[in-house]
Structure 1
Amino acid sequence: MNKGFLIILTLFFGILSAQKNAYYQQYAKYKMDIDVDAKNFTYNGNQTLTYTNNSPDELDVVYFHLYWNAFKPGSMMDQRIAGQGKNGDSRLQNNGISRLASIPKDEEGAQNIHWIKQNGKNLKFEIQETVMKVYLDSPIKANSSTIFMMEWDAVIPMQIRRAGRNNREGIDMTVTQWYPKIAEYDYDGWATFDYIGREFHAPFSDFEVNIKIDKEYVIGAGGTLENPLEVKGYDKKATIKADKNNKTTWKWTAKNMLDFAWAADRDYTVDSFVVLDGPKVYFVYQKSEKTKYWDESKPYVTKFFQIMNATFGRYVYPSYSFIQGGDGGMEYGMCTMILGEAKSLDGLVGLMVHEGGHSWNQQIMAYNESVRPWMDEGFTSYYDDSVMYQLFPPKTPQANPFTGSLDRYRNFVKKGIEEPAVWLGDHHDNGSAYSFATYVKGELFLVQLGYIMGEQNLALVMKEFYNEWHLKHPTDRDFMHIAQKVSGMDLKWFLNYWINTTKTIDYGIKEVKYNESSTTIILENKGTIPMPIDFSILTTDKKVVNYQIPLNMTHTWKTKDIYGDFKTEAYWPWTQKDYTFTIPYNKSQISALGIDFSQRLADVNLEDNLVEVK
């Protein structure tokens, strides 16, 4: 074969392969017309969906999620709750018995598909619990679009988990994950996870949603209300336009979001305020003595958005709504559903901060929550603790905002029921183990990285990660690529240990030998996760001297942190159990010495980490 031709052929297939594996994301555009029968908690829906296949693959089937089909006796969600008993989600069971098992027939959730068409032609479909598989009339070729039309009706279920009628605070309708929602398709294929009660995933989409409902109702939603002068609650100058059935039509739009969610109640009040250099914020709630803290929360919510914009990346949407509804707190595009009858101001603000923080993770960064819930919930918990530490400084001084989460982690590990964070969200066997793997270990993943690489580097990582991946669908691999690039460290070992296993960190001071002009310290690794070690001494004249004992696997060492500069010792090989080093201070010069004065290291046993010199 001609050598020149061989070179051209190699380059051609190399370019072809790079294009095939290049990042892409699908796109959808929904236009919905919804007619609500508020008295019977049902609605009829018509939907036109323009779906764009930006992948290199030809698609001959598509999948839709029908989440409300889970809310009935005998569903997979019901079976899972019954199988877990008291180890399951406490919101879904009473004393180990599934709440779904006793849903009355007329309050079961349902999404009844009448028909679906592609470019005007009827399609065959089959419903598999909460997933609908649709066989296409003509395949969707790579980089092309198709139009689906659909008609369906739905029953708003008894309020058990997130969505539903008549929640415990008296909200008539919380309407979330409520429409036939096309599944995400990416390099890993279709994200067709059954709905068992936890997380979601979807392509970025544009929405045009027209909701017709009795004129007495006020709707709160994650989107832009296009006709505030024709409906109740949003403008004092409004002239409510009702049809012959005494219904008004609410016209909502939203762009580049994962979903569209709304709630409706006859007693809602709508408050709004604008965050300087941020979004317009709406409070949609039942104003009463029980919700008195909502008004007091406004300056805290304002500061929350300002801190998040400055620290982690800008909120990209024009508004955000806090809507009273649901069963606790659950985030959606441009809004969250939360219980509103708070017992304290900081309790309400804490809930708002956490759910609002999801906008940066569940929406803007848009991880696949079903596969990596620890990235969404864990990173959000990290933001939550960081912001709340600033909004409500602790009365008792603490070394950092994360000491509470570290203590909870240590106490949970002692129970012996921990499960790896790498498990799929709905496939954890124990509800508490899911919470700790997802919320706590996900948060501490970032705390430990800050400890390993230094907080300044971690801040750069978080900003660069946002800048490169917002409004896309990044994975943990994408995050680690940036973390390693910014820090110069090899960090793959840490991701594997922390996320894929339940191994633990446990270092201790084994022996201290005081010499005439120096002190020799022997440290011991008694755990199963190796880590670099920050070791410090407090001198008798109240100075802190920091030493960094690098871990050989990082190959690049931390030299400074917000907690001070470090004197670097020889590295500690991960295979070596003991480590000995000598510092140029004798006993008379030292008040205390120990591992991790900053209290960030997730060491499961702190009793042997500090020595007071007497």
Structure 2
Amino acid sequence: MKKLLILLVVITTSILKSQITPYYQQQANYNIEVDVDTKNFKYNGKQQINYINNSPDTLSIVYFHLYWNAFQPNSMMDQQLIQLGKNADQRMVTPEGESRISKLKPSEIGYQKIISLKQENVPLNYTIEETIVKVKLDKPILPNTTTVFTMDWEGQIPLMIRRAGRNNNEGIDFTMTQWYPKLAEYDYEGWHISDYIAREFQGVFGNYEVKINIDKNYVVGAGGVLVNPKEVKGYDLDIKPKARNNKVTWHFKAENIHDFAWAADPDYSVQTLQVPQGPKVYLVFQKSEKTKYWEDIKPFIIKYFQIMKENFGAYPYPTYTFIQGGDGGMEYGMCSMVMGNAGSLYDLAKLMFHEASHSWFQQVLATNESMRAWMDEGFTSYAENLVLGELFPETIENYPNSHLETVSTYVNFAKSGQEEVMGLLADHYHANNGYSVASYIKGEMFLVMLEYIVGKDNFTKIMKEYFQTWKFKHPTDKDFMHIAQKVSAMDLKWYWNYMTNTTRTIDYMIKKVEELQGETKITLQNSGSFPMPVDVFIVYTNGNKEIYNIPLNLMHNSKKQEFGIPQKTLPYWKWTHKEYSFILPIPLDKIDLIMLDASQRLGDIDYQNNLYQNK
């Protein structure tokens, strides 16, 4: 009996300890030097990483990512493309649905080969599992201690298939993303060592010092601050590059980021602008008729950073760089790769401002994209459409909100029967459009509908507090919802659960409107499987307008008035009840129109039954 009691005490203590372990995060400071062979599309690299174990755990094994090993025939990425066929990302397959990776020649594949790996100058044993390196440490890393890794490696730059590579279809020579062996993230969820299947990734915050030795006629665009602008081409037109053996060294520094990317091309031009009380912004692109909108976008970039600051929080780094490169758009620390040839100023703004918004919702609020892609892509998409609605109001003229296109896309896809659960791991969807809708569209809907539930004022407070509380950290949806509930004083767990764990749909309708003894009785019906609060918008024959808000009992609270329209709050609608009735103390002939969800943020899949027009 005594042994049993001791065992129970040990188990209970262990459980309690796991529940009260304070937040921690690791730190990895990189010092990287690379020498680029531009003719053969190869490079040699060496790096020193000061790794700080801030966890309460002793680490006897660490992991690295070798992302470019995925760009080889029969890799996991290749096999996934073969299985998905025409359901795959169309950039990565032929028109017939065949994997482009499967057709790469040995001189066209990507790879990162480790030449030497040491800890405190002692060689380490490791195994390579395609894009993951598992390293057995000679000296386990104790809690709250630092160790130093040194590594030499060589890489071959793949043909542009996805995100990284050489010779993209706009003629950019090198897009160098996910280009260095990168330490995996470790936190209370364990090691984050997802195989690279072309989608999302996670990194460790740290400081970067990067030196890139490359042919003197190349211009480099990168995240971080350029330390030696007077020694390289393009950043100071009055200075000739200081070349050695026909090469120059580009020296960059960045603090408190979790990824470093760069691109290089001999035809790049560099332009700058200064955001008042914000970052210095660099535009690195091939100047031509096809990129003419890069000149026109400058005042919009300034306004963009100001709108983002007002709605979410200030961009915290000294610089930001838009670089022409990649295969679409992709975010990295203090920079983004964007395709430069745009059909209109709006198209360029849409691409640039989506990628830049990742600086808030992936780079600063560094959620794990591989596990919760919707928190990154969806929140970013929300910010993108909010900004575009302010900068290009003509594009949403007569729209009830700037997210209406997203709402429509979500509703149509939800009705198609193809929707997959939003909480899936990013690489595990059956089809690329299933992933795209779950992460981008429904992820944005998560915020659109949350705003509908808590009200615009509360929503803005939530987003600002979330950014301020969790910047430079790795928040989860649990952390976000904690703030949302605290600020709104509402219980929102039901909403969080339905949105992330189900594909249930919302369908509220006006079932009946009738006059009873000089008053009007309105009966509503929940024909869906996802309970929500309901806004009933009334327009009277005299032109007056009013909103009746019906909160859901699961919320245990209700939102405040929005839009400057008088609002009355009715008793709770119990989630178990399919019908709800209330009385307007006015004859039916005094009512012109009744509409559910006039702001169109509810995500209702059948809007036709939301309207009653008095004839």
The interval holding the TM-score normalised by the smaller chain is over 0.9
| 1:384-395 paired onto structure 2 within 5 Å | 384-395=384-395
Give the Cα–Cα distance (whole angstroms) in 1 for the partners of residues 125 and 20 of structure 2.
30
Task: Quote how far apart the aligned CAs of 1:85 are.
Answer: 1.2
Give the Cα–Cα distance (whole angstroms) in 2 for the partners of residues 380 and 122 of structure 1.
42
Task: Quote how far apart the aligned CAs of 1:14 are.
Answer: 10
1:417 partner SS: coil
Give the Cα–Cα distance (whole angstroms) in 1 for the partners of residues 401 and 15 of structure 2.
48
Name 1:25's counterpart in structure 2: 25
Task: Quote how far apart the aligned CAs of 1:521 are.
Answer: 1.0
Give the Cα–Cα distance (whole angstroms) in 2 for the partners of residues 316 and 301 of structure 1.
16
Deviates more, 1:166-175 or 1:585-594: 585-594
Name 1:237's counterpart in structure 2: 238
Task: Quote how far apart the aligned CAs of 1:548 are.
Answer: 1.1
CA contact (8 A) 1:421 1:441 kept: yes
CA contact (8 A) 1:454 1:562 kept: no
Question: TM-score by structure 2 length?
Answer: 0.96
Amino acid at match of 1:454: G
Amino acid at match of 1:523: L
Matched, 1:331 2:346: no
Amino acid at match of 1:79: Q
CA contact (8 A) 2:26 2:205 kept: yes
Task: Quote how far apart the aligned CAs of 1:236 are.
Answer: 2.0
Task: Quote how far apart the aligned CAs of 1:18 are.
Answer: 7.4
Give the Cα–Cα distance (whole angstroms) in 2 for the partners of residues 469 and 169 of structure 1.
37
Name 1:3's counterpart in structure 2: none
Question: Deviation digits for residues 80-132 of structure 1, max 9, x if unmatched?
Answer: 01111111111111232111111121010000101100001000011001000
Deviates more, 1:509-518 or 1:343-352: 509-518
> Which consecutive residues of structure 1, in runs of 5 or more, have no partner in the other structure?
1-8
Name 1:481's counterpart in structure 2: 482
| 1:376-455 paired onto structure 2 within 5 Å | 376-395=376-395, 396-455=397-456
Matched, 1:574 2:575: yes
| 1:105-504 paired onto structure 2 within 5 Å | 105-243=106-244, 245-395=245-395, 396-504=397-505
CA RMSD after TM alignment: 1.6
CA contact (8 A) 1:592 1:613 kept: yes
Amino acid at match of 2:56: P
CA contact (8 A) 2:545 2:566 kept: no
Give the Cα–Cα distance (whole angstroms) in 2 for the partners of residues 555 and 20 of structure 1.
28
Matched, 1:544 2:545: yes
Name 1:81's counterpart in structure 2: 81
CA contact (8 A) 1:207 1:254 kept: yes
CA contact (8 A) 1:563 1:598 kept: no
Name 1:4's counterpart in structure 2: none
Give the Cα–Cα distance (whole angstroms) in 2 for the partners of residues 480 and 241 of structure 1.
53
Give the Cα–Cα distance (whole angstroms) in 1 for the partners of residues 49 and 407 of structure 2.
46
CA contact (8 A) 1:273 1:281 kept: yes
Task: Quote how far apart the aligned CAs of 1:566 are.
Answer: 2.1
1:194 partner SS: coil
Question: TM-score by structure 1 length?
Answer: 0.97
> Structure 1 stretches (4+) deviating beyond 6 angstroms?
12-16
Give the Cα–Cα distance (whole angstroms) in 2 for the partners of residues 28 and 111 of structure 1.
20
Name 2:605's counterpart in structure 1: 604
CA contact (8 A) 1:56 1:142 kept: yes
Amino acid at match of 1:298: K
Give the Cα–Cα distance (whole angstroms) in 1 for the partners of residues 101 and 415 of structure 2.
33
Question: Aligned pair count?
Answer: 605
Amino acid at match of 2:84: Q
Amino acid at match of 1:416: G
Give the Cα–Cα distance (whole angstroms) in 2 for the partners of residues 16 and 442 of structure 1.
33
Name 2:67's counterpart in structure 1: 67
Name 1:506's counterpart in structure 2: 507
Amino acid at match of 1:89: D
2:353 partner SS: helix
1:73 partner SS: coil
CA contact (8 A) 1:456 1:562 kept: no
Task: Quote how far apart the aligned CAs of 1:402 are.
Answer: 1.0
Question: Deviation digits for residues 202-259 of structure 1, max 9, x if unmatched?
Answer: 110111111100000000000111011111000123231111x211011111111011
Amino acid at match of 2:198: G
Deviates more, 1:193-202 or 1:507-516: 507-516
Task: Quote how far apart the aligned CAs of 1:33 are.
Answer: 1.1
CA contact (8 A) 1:535 1:595 kept: yes
